[in-house]
Structure 1
Amino acid sequence: MPTSTYSCLVVNLDHVAANYRRLAEEAKTAECAAVLKADGYGMGAVPIALRLHQEGCRSFFVAFAHEGVALREAFVDRGLDAHIYILNGFFPGAEGTYAEFHLIPALTDLDQVDRWQAFCHMTGRKLPAALHIDTGMSRTGLPSKEYMALASNPELLDGMDLKLVLSQMAYSHDENMTFSIQQRQRFDQAIRHLPKMKASLAKSGVIFLGPEFHYDMVRPGIALHGINPINEKANPLQQTMELWGRIYQIQDVVVGQSIGYSQTFVAASARRVATIGVGYADGYPWVLGNKGQVDIAGYKAPIVGRVSMDVMTVDVTDIPEIHLEMGGWVRLMGGDISVESLAKLAGTVPYEILLRMGKRFRRVYLQS
């Protein structure tokens, strides 16, 4: 562990790679892409993309152009190539950036289709694009009347290189199979009417619904980080990250003494308390004050008092003295303190827990 920091986020790239291989195995003959939105779900898009490229991944998805530019620059610097899709399409005037960095926009409405075609004609280049179909999310994507307009007027797609048609599923796994099957059927209908190109529907948990959801490409995202993609069943994936903080003060608390803001914890007996250099400014959930716990050398220490901006306090009364030292490392996430369990305790979803992990953490990447 680094010695000059209060906290550390450890990402095991070998575990990310193992999860990718497991997902690719589940996808069978379909290509396995990687979704690395929001800086790879907070874990670092560039190092993850480079590791997955070693595993044979050649298609990457991000939400915005600047995320795609960062990936492209990292690939170019190392003499690598890959398809980089931008899920949120593009704003007027951004066409040049997409062309310069070889980014593939997922066109989400007829206006984007028109503007991308016009740019292709203006530059005299047949530039790549994807079509994003709305099959039930009512959020982004071409609704049926718009993709049918493209089917009825195929000249609207002339001049561009259509790489992929995709859609987003409303459910992560099998929570509502009736609606998921409806979405798949709507996607099949769209494919029948559009020009022939590769198709992609399945995200992380949907991959495990079976080959009828796989099409030509699957798009795992959060599953790459070992978040259980199949709800209450045994997790087939490996955890990829651990969050560590350091002890920087230990003190004794007497009966009746309060700890932290608003006196939300008052000692009912003499206690020993350690202060850890991680708080809600780092992304640790404020709501876990007096609810969460940390791991010190295999012993659990409950959080006492509120989680503050920069620190939290934990009860170390029952932890052997040998494991308590200034600068000692405490595990806040990882092992049997899973992302899922923290999310459940905080009343949120694993996505938010991962994405909260702030920039103040020193990031360490492990790989063989």
Structure 2
Amino acid sequence: MTAYDRAPAFLTIDVGAVVANWRLIRDRVGPGCEAAAVVKADCYGLGAERIVPGLAAAGCRTFFVATIDEGIAIRKVLPREVTVAILGGPLPGAAADLAEHALTPVLNSLDQIGLWAGYAAATGSRLKAALHLDTGMSRLGLDAPAVAMLAADPALLNGIDPILVMSHMACADETGHPKNRQQLTAFQTLSGQLGLPARRSLGASSTIFLGPDYHFDLVRPGAVLYGLNPTPDQANPMAAVVALHARILQVRDVDSPMTVGYGATHSVRGKGRVAVAALGYADGVFRSLGNSGFGVIEGERVPVVGRISMDLTTFDVSALAPEQARPGALIEIIGPHQAADDLAAQGGTIGYEVLTALGRRYLRTYQGEVV
């Protein structure tokens, strides 16, 4: 028996589509702006070791991850001259690891600046870094008083070579939100106060689509690379990357007053058939999709009935012919008829969570890889 024969569910990841999406962003911002790639969380759950080489081969020269361990992992498949930036910055005691693996920390606070400057002084080095300004997220980043302190005392950056000044937007997926312009103005003001000869970056995925004013010198596409829609109020301009299908394990006849699943949350009304598919919340199919989501068989929607179980999801296939819904047949969960964003909307979440939650039990198949 092959891996395909024994696999209950299948996840297909199109690396070529990821690269095409990166090229779309690169071409959109033009030659005066660099297109980086955000590959944190294992490329949003899709496999950094398989995707990052394709992006590098296409010309990407700057990658962003969240943690040092993520940076060390992708450094194994990237040459040292390619920039790998760590969004979380340096933790106490981790500066040597950053330097050893040629990782560039994003410095989010005066404390982190002190850690990195201290390591530079102790080693007699001049170390690259990015500076993150908080322009309205109230999350990571240097706030206005901290920026004023840096501007007043440039010695705080002794030993540090700031190669990038960046910020992050809170509401960029809402094109008309007033906070977008407020953050743009704040970024221009705060970065101007620093007066550093570093490049500037404000645009992540949705921000890129707000227009050239938000592009500056480097953009940081993340979710868009993996096919998620950066403009929810418009058609998705990105190529689809992910397809998810599950096998039917069993089809059974049902009739009232039978119920389906835990908690008896679905009551059968009249004669029908239900198909039990081999995936559940352990595989990233959210429990909130119970009695609200749907799958697709041969282009026809089949609604989820009952609660999502750990390993199983039950669909109403009463409207289909028996030969369409049979043991071994495949149900599309993500694909041409239902994007990850659509599945997220049914489950009351966002496409980011759908992708990063995709489980490890799927038989993963990669297409369009660089060989």
Does TM, scored on the shorter chain, surpass 0.5? Answer: yes
Give the structure 2 partner of residue 254 of structure 1.
255
| Contact 2:257–2:267 (Cα < 8 Å) also in 1 | yes
Distance in structure 2 (CA, Å) of the matches to 1:238 and 1:109: 37
Q: 1:44 deviation in Å?
A: 1.5
Do the aligned partners of 2:52 and 2:77 also contact (CA within 8 Å) in 1? no
Return 5+ residue gaps in structure 1 as ranges: none
Q: Within the alignment, does 1:131 sit opposite 2:131 as a pair?
A: yes
- Residue 72 of structure 1, CA deviation: 0.5
Give the equivalent residue in structure 2 for 1:53.
Answer: 56
Matched, 1:6 2:8: yes
Supply the RMSD in Å over aligned alpha carbons.
1.5
* Match of residue 71 from structure 1: 74
Structure 2 partner of 1:173? 173
Alignment check: 8 A CA contact 1:174 1:209 kept: no
Instruction: Give the equivalent residue in structure 1 for 2:294.
Output: 293
Distance in 1 separating the partners of 2:253 and 2:266? 14
- Tell me how far 1:129 sits from its aligned partner: 0.7
Equivalent residues of 1:258, 1:265 under 8 A apart: yes
Find the counterpart in structure 1 of residue 275 from structure 2.
274
Tell me by how many angstroms 1:251 deviates. Answer: 1.5
Counterpart in the other structure of 1:18 = 20
Report the CA distance between 1:309 and its aligned residue. Answer: 0.8
Letter in 2 for 1:6: P
Rounded Cα–Cα distance in structure 2 between residues aligned with 1:325 and 1:53 = 43
Ranges in structure 2 where 5+ consecutive residues have no aligned partner:
none
Corresponding letter in the other structure for 1:43: L
**Structure 1 range deviating more: 176-185 or 241-250:** 176-185
The C-alpha deviation readout for 1:63-86, integer Å capped at 9, x for no partner, is 11111111001225xxx7421111
Give the Cα–Cα distance (whole angstroms) in 2 for the partners of residues 297 and 2 of structure 1.
Answer: 20
CA distance, structure 1, for counterparts of residue 261 and residue 357 of structure 2: 22
Equivalent position SS for 2:23: helix
Q: Which residue of 1 aligns with 2:305?
A: 304
Aligned length: 365
Question: Is residue 276–residue 312 contact of structure 1 (8 Å, CA) maintained in 2?
Answer: yes
Q: Which amino acid aligns with 1:24?
A: R
**TM-score computed with the length of structure 2 as normaliser:** 0.94
Identity of aligned residues (%): 39
Q: For the Cα contact (< 8 Å) 2:90–2:116, is it kept in 1?
A: no
Cα contact 2:132–2:141 (8 A) shared by 1: yes
1:39 aligns with 2:42: yes
Q: C-alpha displacement at 1:362, in angstroms? A: 2.3
Match of 1:343 in 2: 344
Residue 104 of structure 2: SS of its match in structure 1? strand
| Alpha-carbon distance in 2 for matches of 1:235, 1:112 | 38
CA separation in 2, counterparts of 1:203 and 1:115? 27
Relative to structure 1, the CA distance from residue 310 to residue 25 in structure 2 (aligned partners, 3 Å threshold; closer, same or farther) is same
Q: Secondary structure at the match of 1:136?
A: coil
3-state SS, counterpart of residue 105 of structure 2:
strand
Name the CA distance, whole Å, in 1 between partners of 2:211 and 2:315.
Answer: 45
Counterpart-to-counterpart distance in 2, 1:199 and 1:19: 22
- Pick closer, same or farther for the CA change 1:313–1:173 going to 2, 3 Å: closer
